[in-house]
Amino acid sequence: MKTLLQTVVMILALGIAAGGATPVSAQQPTAAQGKGKYQIVFHVSESNPQQWNITLNNAMAFQRNLGKENTEIEIVANGPGLNMLKAESKVADRITQALDKNIDVVACGETMETTKVSKADLVGGVRVVRGGIIEIADRQRAGWVYIRP
């Protein structure tokens, strides 16, 4: 009786022999292959610099690896996550860096209204929408990939 490992090795060997296996490094798809830009919306609702840094790292790495011309990236903040979009937040410089890289950073207008935060309180360049969840739903309806790090 063959073990699972032996079966997997045999399947891989057959795939290679048949010319069906491609090295992982050669499988990197790009938007230039005819499918349009990669569109990703990140959702952050935590007032936590570590969570924001993870999100910003993910967004910037995605763009760096696939190219600015092949990606549309948006980070939507609602609820307590709005605090990290304030000009005095611990990640304000990183938010500015993301904006400079054409990563759209979006604040929830509903949260702003509830918490009495004005656009002047936010990092310059942050876009305000009526509702963060509405923005995310609209992006998903348009085919964007939803990521919640």
Q: Domains in the chain, please, with CATH?
A: 35-147 (3.40.1260.10)
Query: pLDDT tens digit string along 28-70?
Result: 555 545 679 999 999 999 999 999 999 999 999 999 999 999 9
Instruction: Name the stretches of the chain with pLDDT < 50.
Output: 1-27, 32
The confidence score (pLDDT) of residue 35 equals 79
Alpha-carbon torsion angle 68, 72, 78, 84, nearest 10: 0
pLDDT value at residue 4: 42
What pLDDT, on the 0 to 100 scale, is given for residue 22? 37
Could you give the CA distance from residue 91 to residue 50 in angstroms, rounded to a whole number? 9
pLDDT computed for residue 135 by the predictor:
98
User: What's the pTM?
Assistant: 0.78
| pLDDT on residue 130 | 98
